[in-house]
A = this chain, B = another copy of it.
Amino acid sequence: MHRDLEAEMEKAGVDTLVVLGDSTRESPNLLYLVGAWLPRGGIYVKRVGQKPLLIVGEVDLEAAKRGKVGNVKTFDELGYSELVAKMDPTKARAAVVESVLRELGAKKVLISGKVEAQVAISLAGYLRRRGFRVATKIGVVERARMTKDSEEVEKIAEAGRATERAISEAIEVLRDASNREGKLSVEGRELTVGDLKQVIISCLAREGLKPIDEPIVAVGEASHDPHYPGYSEEVVRANKPIIIDVFPRRLDGYCFDCTRTVVVGRADKRLRELFEDVLEAQQIAMDMAREGVRASKVARKVCEFFEKRGHRTPLTKGAEPLREGFVHSVGHGVGLTIEEPPYISTVSKNVLRSGMVATIEPGLYYRGVGGVRLEDVVVVEKGGVRNLSKLEKALEL
């Protein structure tokens, strides 16, 4: 949470934080600290024990003031336009940062934010030449972001409701499709993966969400590869697995991630068993996860359960690469991105804490059969987890 930032800075041994971004959309750390949508980004500077300063362009001043940082200045107020007449824009920006750091009495600085590597490396070099110490510590802002306050959880939950409506609409299309000897059609036309993706994407658009990447609609045996995205022209068939994995982002940046596996008609015995195992594994993880528990312990418990059921997992000893069974991790954090800590895997170093939001998404994958994955998003609390996903889990439609 925001209030953890100072402690994380102190743990990293830095007195001042500089967070960059060409836009808040592209720099989650900047978006997190600024709390406003700045299409042209800005520079956030915070000295331990003091209120932060945000520097933006003149055109973004009003938008910036609606955010979390009370003290907003424009680049021009800090002398940028005089500087840029004498030097290139990157150096002029560095000089503005330098003058702010001097004013604050900064000594050891941490630079963060997602920017072109050259911008970060140049700024670090410039500040070092001007006498500052520049830290290299991964994850300071990210660690503060790891636990969410109730307002953030509510935004993620809202993203979840919209995401689930999109998946539900796709499932409705599947339910309504006519099934003739395993061939599914809608209005006389064969149903394709592209049709289902279109329903999902259009629903997300209506809900004000943007897909982070194209949703996964993996149908048939190809779904044995958890990273198979599904291609538009593929035809959807009855009695075969359909994995629908949707991960959109709200305009304020908060994300969701939800997966359901369904079959139109009848699933064969093997697939039904896989589904039952995945469902049980998910419940085991949810029952175990709570404040104070190591994420790796949750992942190990899931692996042990899967092994007992005869599936290979990341824990299974053996030389060959793991290509069948439970081939990925149990989950990952969800917030302003869907690729953030806590990581729920056997090698994770994260300990679960109240306010963490993460997916619980066990899956099983077999060539010749296909895949089953069920993915919910939970909030870690003192005595357990609260599930933000409400969408039902039933294999056969």
Contacts and interface: CB of A to CB of B under 8 A. Distances in A.
Interface of A: 20, 22-23, 25-26, 29, 39, 58-60, 88, 90, 110-125, 134, 136-140, 198, 201-202, 204-206, 210-214, 226-227, 251, 321, 339
Contacts of A59: 226-227
A90 B202 contact: no
* Copies assembled: 2
A60 B115 CA distance: 24
A318 B305 CA distance: 74
Contact of A22 (B25, B122, B339): B339
Nearest to A140: B118
Contacts of A211: 210
B201 A205 contact: yes
A134 B59 CA distance: 35
Nearest to A225: B59
Nearest to A117: B120
A214 B251 contact: yes
6 cross-chain pairs, A with B, having the tightest CB-CB distances, nearest first: A117-B120, A120-B120, A201-B205, A205-B205, A122-B136, A111-B117
Contacts of A205: 198, 201-202, 204-205
The SS class assigned to the A binding surface is mixed
A76 B77 CA distance: 50
Nearest to A323: B58
Contacts of A120: 117-118, 120-121
Contacts of A39: 213, 227
A167 to B, nearest CB: 16
Most buried by B among A39, A58, A114, A117: A117
Given A204-B205, A211-B210, A137 B118 contact: yes
Contact of A114 (B114, B139, B227): B114
A319 to B, nearest CB: 12
A116 B213 contact: no
Most interface-central of A58, A59, A115, A205 (chain B CB within 10 A): A205
Nearest to A74: B321
Nearest to A120: B117
B118 A121 contact: no
Contacts of A26: 26, 114
Nearest to A198: B206
